[in-house]
Structure 1
Amino acid sequence: MLIKQNPNGLDRPFASEITPREVYEERRKFIARMAAGAAVGSALWEMANREAFAQGVSTQNAAPVQKLAAKANPAFSTTEPQTSLRDATHYNNFYEFGLDKTDPAENAHTLRTRPWTVAIEGEVKKPLRLDIDSLTKLAPLEERIYRLRCVEGWSMVIPWVGYSLSNLIKAVEPTGNAKYVEFTTLADRSQMPGLRSGVLDWPYVEGLRMDEAMHPLALLTVGMYGQVLPNQNGAPVRVVVPWKYGFKSPKSIVRIRFTRDQPKTAWNVSAPREYGFYSNVNPKVDHPRWSQATERRIGEDGFFKRKRDTLMFNGYNEVASLYVGMDLKRFF
């Protein structure tokens, strides 16, 4: 390799290699204009999509979306800034549509959300089979702003729309044998290209203990940001359990079953050392491959931006009474 040296023997660049001041300053102006343009573009995207939602127009090349009439419930809110609509709909885990975070937004347009029915069965006195409209109208819809923490170390703050899962549970009248609630999600290769990956034993199954499912925070969710759920976020119905890691909030549910025994859940079966049945957010119990002590809030990226400290139960301390006397390192 040829290394040029200054003939004066000084450790300085050649004069011809120094960028002229006017060029340097013009470059800085250009970079600033590009950054401003990106910020404006992002803001315009957000405005356009919110306007589209307000008008009932789909932003994901699917059927027209529907606004949801839901009253904000101040008992379930936060003063933390909300995650942007774009981030919440374009940075997702939904392996049925791909393994990368951007795959669901790209691929989930193939999901057909109507007609859609959810079977509620098992240890109940009144088993039901509800279409999505009947399910949506079973109880008054509320908007609740919840934090959701992913086991991978990132989090979001999203305005969800739905009602307490306990409303549905009371409607089917569980028997005394019902100790757990099992959720099974759609697994259709014709609609979900990610099923070919074999990363899990499909369909996706999750579960909660009965008292967890009955807690007012557990939300049967049919919307977000005032509209029906986008496909990539679990349309047309999912559960949001904000004190647990995100994979405990199953998407695109087709069956809810009440059981005597603890359900065999997808990630717990696939990797039991990494994903426990309870999976409560706990900064003191690390994932085998990374720490859970801190988290990255999506939208707060930047080289100098400090990560947030992870809060026990994701900050929802009202659920602590559900686990009194439990060894939460053993039952992780």
Structure 2
Amino acid sequence: MTRSRPFSLPEGEATPEALYLGRRQIVAGMAAAGLLPAPAFATTDVGKLARLGARRTLDAGEPATPLADVAGYNNFYEFGLDKGDPARRADTLKPSPWTLRIGGLVQKPVTLDVDRFVARAPLEERVYRFRCVEGWSMVIPWVGVPLSALLSVVEPLGSARYVAFRTLADPAQMPGLRSPVLDWPYREGLRLDEAMHPLTLAAVGLYGRRLPNQNGAPIRLVVPWKYGFKSIKSIVAIDFTERQPETSWNMATPGEYGFFSNVNPNVDHPRWSQARERRIGEFRRRDTLLFNGYAADVAGLYRGMDLKRFF
């Protein structure tokens, strides 16, 4: 543990990984009985995914969501609109070899070989709360590096104010691209100070293993104080820009999905309240925390802003 946080949890109190990997039959029975949200499991055998060496640096202080649920209950519309579609259909994604281009307003644009990057990077494990705009949440042990470490390599220009992200859009690998639900490819963006914040993670794994395809292999964004759709998956391009970039859900329905999309119990979605949420695996609903519980770390980024206007 590199630094102490008020939400730190001794690693010995985490549920052993073997219990998650060996519980498929039990979970399948619960799903059939309607006790779990998704009957699907990962087409990728997560137990066979490459292990990653990482030191734990941050912990949410809550029990981690079972791996079967994290791998089986996803929004990844490139593979279908149902929560179980990504786990059933994402075996068509080919996450290796994979390149990630970083450019735009920078001094030193680069194209990274993601496999080489994962092999050489000083990886961290961070257990973060993860909140979806639809009202469900998880606690996930991500593996990755601070996004700032990755972005600093290209030396952004002084004119850069935002960072734009783009997902792969290959119909041969992503059957969901036939759906017109969004204007493909999937795009997201952050303000530069949000992208460089210490909590923002470039994730390459979870539960100590490489990312399953349905969770955004081989590299994705994790911004724990924002709703989950901001944490773009399967990234192929990152660009520094001067102007606020277009983002997929904001383009599709700007009255429902703002550019910032910070978790805020005081700003309702037009079709439902955001004041409560349901943690996957729990029956009761709990109060939604401002900035998903990370207000002490990130509230200063928005000092003086009207968070109901800039939602």
TM bracket, shorter-chain basis: 0.7 to 0.9
Give the alignment of 1:208-219 within 5 angstroms. 208-219=190-201
Runs of 4+ in 1 over 4 A off after TM superposition: 61-64
The 2-side partners of 1:254 and 1:280 are apart by 24
The 1-side partners of 2:24 and 2:191 are apart by 46
* Superposition TM-score, scaled by structure 1 size: 0.80
Equivalent residues of 1:139, 1:167 under 8 A apart: no
Could you tell me which of 287, 291, 298 is aligned with 1:313?
Answer: 291
**Structure 1 residue 92 corresponds to structure 2 residue 92:** no
Q: 1:63 offset after TM fit, Å? A: 12
Q: 1:59 offset after TM fit, Å? A: 6.1
Q: 1:215 offset after TM fit, Å? A: 0.4
The 1-side partners of 2:67 and 2:24 are apart by 15
**Structure 1 residue 179 corresponds to structure 2 residue 161:** yes
Larger Rg: 1
Q: CA RMSD in A?
A: 1.9
The 2-side partners of 1:270 and 1:159 are apart by 31
More helix by share: 1
Equivalent residues of 1:181, 1:259 under 8 A apart: yes
The 1-side partners of 2:254 and 2:24 are apart by 45
Tell me which residue corresponds to 2:310.
331
Could you tell me which of 104, 108, 123 is aligned with 1:126?
Answer: 108
Equivalent residues of 1:61, 1:109 under 8 A apart: no
Equivalent residues of 2:43, 2:89 under 8 A apart: no
In the TM superposition, what whole-angstrom CA distance separates every residue of 1:216-243 from its partner, at most 9, and x where no partner exists? 0000000000000000000000000000
- Alignment gaps of 5+ in structure 1: 1-38, 46-57
Aligned partner letter, 1:330:
R
The 1-side partners of 2:159 and 2:28 are apart by 53
Q: 1:163 offset after TM fit, Å? A: 0.8
* Superposition TM-score, scaled by structure 2 size: 0.85
The 1-side partners of 2:56 and 2:281 are apart by 23
The 2-side partners of 1:151 and 1:196 are apart by 24
Could you tell me which of 35, 42, 59 is aligned with 1:77?
Answer: 59
Aligned residue pairs total 276
| C-alpha spacing 1:263/1:324, structure 2 compared with 1 (3 Å) | same
The 1-side partners of 2:124 and 2:24 are apart by 32
The 2-side partners of 1:256 and 1:84 are apart by 31
**Structure 1 residue 228 corresponds to structure 2 residue 210:** yes
Q: 1:81 offset after TM fit, Å? A: 1.1
Q: 1:78 offset after TM fit, Å? A: 2.0
Aligned partner letter, 2:302:
Y
Equivalent residues of 1:62, 1:109 under 8 A apart: no
The 2-side partners of 1:175 and 1:41 are apart by 53
Tell me which residue corresponds to 2:278.
296
The 1-side partners of 2:266 and 2:148 are apart by 30
